[in-house]
Every structure is written in structure tokens, then in C-alpha cells.
Amino acid sequence: MSDTKFNILLSFIIPAHNSERTLSNCVESIENDVHLSDISCELIIIENGSEDNTLNIAKTLQKKFANVLLEVSEKGVSKARNRGLEVATGRKIVFVDSDDVWVNGSIEAIAKQLAAADADLFMYGYYKENKEVIHDYGRMEEIFSENIDDFKAWLLVRPTLRMQVWAKVFDDGVIKDKTLRFNEELSYSEDSEFLLRYVQSCNTVGIFSKPIYRYLCSGVSAVRTYNPQRMQGYIKSLEVTAIEVANEAAPVREAYLEYILAHFNLIAVHDIFDMQIQGSFIKKLRKMKQLKNEPLFRSALDKISLNRCLTVQLSPEAFIKCHLNLMAGLVCYMKAFLNYRKQRKVSIAET
């Protein structure tokens, strides 16, 4: 494998914050695949404000692997990723979270696809724990340049499945040409906001079923409390993306309503009805009612048709539009309960 920076194919950007337990596994999973593929890659670890042993572990990894670069940024995943973009020299950019792992054989698969046909964005499948997530877009296993608006709309209607920056391959030329950076003013959904702006600059896209990434869910954390700042963080991100889609085609703007309401559900399930948050069901239901009256959510609920809400994902919104707030709350409560039970299983497996 050549180490010269002028023929590096992939730059892996890995933000690391308080990652002492997971960083080595993450980096070594990529290095194993680099070794198998014999393709020139660089791994950029960006330590950002850790309070544990992450920095020392990163230094050890830098000494162990010749293609590992270590950078330091201020605290924040967007600041870390932006630092990575500043120093990356690869033709393509891959974002990896330090608590996840890479799938063997993926680098060679990406290289073969690039040799066959290039694109501004490659999107791949992934594992969520041990469950394979395969995308269901109408055009799979090919590069397309028409109907990019349809692709944007498809992304927006299922953001929690499709709008992460990992399990994707970005083109460094597009990023540099458009001077794209993560919005450091955002603390939530900053990856979705970056992806949306990136896709607006894409002319060609390829979607492939092969899983290249393993997203590892964490177990039950310390007791959580209702955090209105977190809710406002999501709303701030939505206000930014609302401006970015304002001039998009009608199908994209309609899909964006679902994107907004997916965030309503995210907040309701994880920040209101979460099983570790103190408070009765009635008290949490009141908070959900307050949330739906936030101007951005209220507007989306008024604009979206009931037919578009007749899905499992938007079932709370269907009940709300039918003035059945109690039923909407029960759906969110059940989702929170199922999440908690799943997290408990992960926690038990980790002990």
C-alpha cells in the first residue's frame, strides 16, 4: 500500500469525544479492512474536549498505524468534523462515529464501484446492531443523475434511517467546490442539515444495498431528565433547514413536512416519554401538547394531509389531526417503552 498523500482514495474522519472504551475497536475495524484491500486510505482522529483517556488512546493508535493522523479541535462533533475536512487529502470522504465499527470488505467494494462509475454521493446499507438495514429506493445498484428531487424527498421522509452522514461516501471535490462545512451553531441534527446541503449540490447519486457500517446502540444511560434546551436545539436545526428547502420543488417541500414531524416524534419519545424521565403519563402528555403547539410543528401539522400521516412512523400525527391527543401520547409512550426494553437488553449484554 502506498502511503503518499497524493493517491489516497478514502479519508475516514473520526470525531472522538470521551471515547476511551470504543475508539480502538472503531479504528482497528477500519485498519483491518485497509489491510485486506491494500487500498490507500487515511484515518483522521479528531479528539475534541474529552475528559477521559481518549487523547492518549488516539496517540497510541497514531503510533501503531502509519496512516492515522491525530488532530485536536474544540469540543463539538461539528467542529471536529470540520477540522477533519480541512486536513483530509483523500479523493472521497467517509464519516465514522468513534463508537461504531466498519464492515470488512467495504473498502474494496467502494473502490470497485468508483472504478466502474463515479458519483457525487454513494449511499450504502448498514447494520443497526445485528439487523441489516437495506434501503428501498426505486433505483438501486446504479448511478443516476435525473430525478434528484425524488431522492431528496425520499431521504426526508425517513430521516432517522437515511439522513446520517455515516454509511455514505462523499466527494471531496464537491465539498471543496461548494465550501461545505458542518454548521457549528447546531447541536442537534447537524448531520442531517449538512447532508441536505450536500445533496443540493449533487448531480449524480448511487445507492447500494451492501452494508458497509455497523451502528452500535448504547445501553441504558444515567437517569435522564426533561431538557427543554435539547428540544430548542432540534427546533433551531429545523428552522435552518426550513430556509434551505424553501425554494425546493413541491414534492421536496411536502416531504420536508414529514421530516419536521419525525423530529416531533423524536422529541416526544426520547425527551418527554422516555422511561427514565420522572413524571406521570398525564404530566408527559401535557408536555407533548405544549410541543405540538410550537409554531414549526403546528404549521407542519396544519399543512400535512391526513393521508400522508397514515403510516406507522406518523401515527401520532394522524391521531393528533383527528383530535385524539391521548392516543398520540399512548403511541409515543409505547415507543419509549420498547426503546427502553431494547436498551436494557444491550446493557445486560455489556455487563
pLDDT of 345 reads 73
Quickly count: other Cβ atoms within 10 Å of residue 234's Cβ: 21
pLDDT of 2 reads 39
pLDDT of 200 reads 97
pTM to 2 decimal places: 0.93
pLDDT of 342 reads 81
pLDDT of 143 reads 94
pLDDT of 54 reads 96
The total number of residues shown for the chain amounts to 351
- pLDDT tens digits, 74-133: 999 999 999 999 999 999 999 999 999 999 999 999 999 999 999 999 999 999 978 999
pLDDT of 77 reads 96
**What are the residues facing 205 on neighbouring strands?**
121, 144
Tell me the CB-side half-sphere exposure of residue 226, using CA atoms within 13 A: 14
Residue 172's alpha-carbon distances to 9, 90, 94, 121, in angstroms, are 10, 7, 10, 10
Low-confidence ranges of the chain (pLDDT < 70): 1-6, 218-226, 346-351
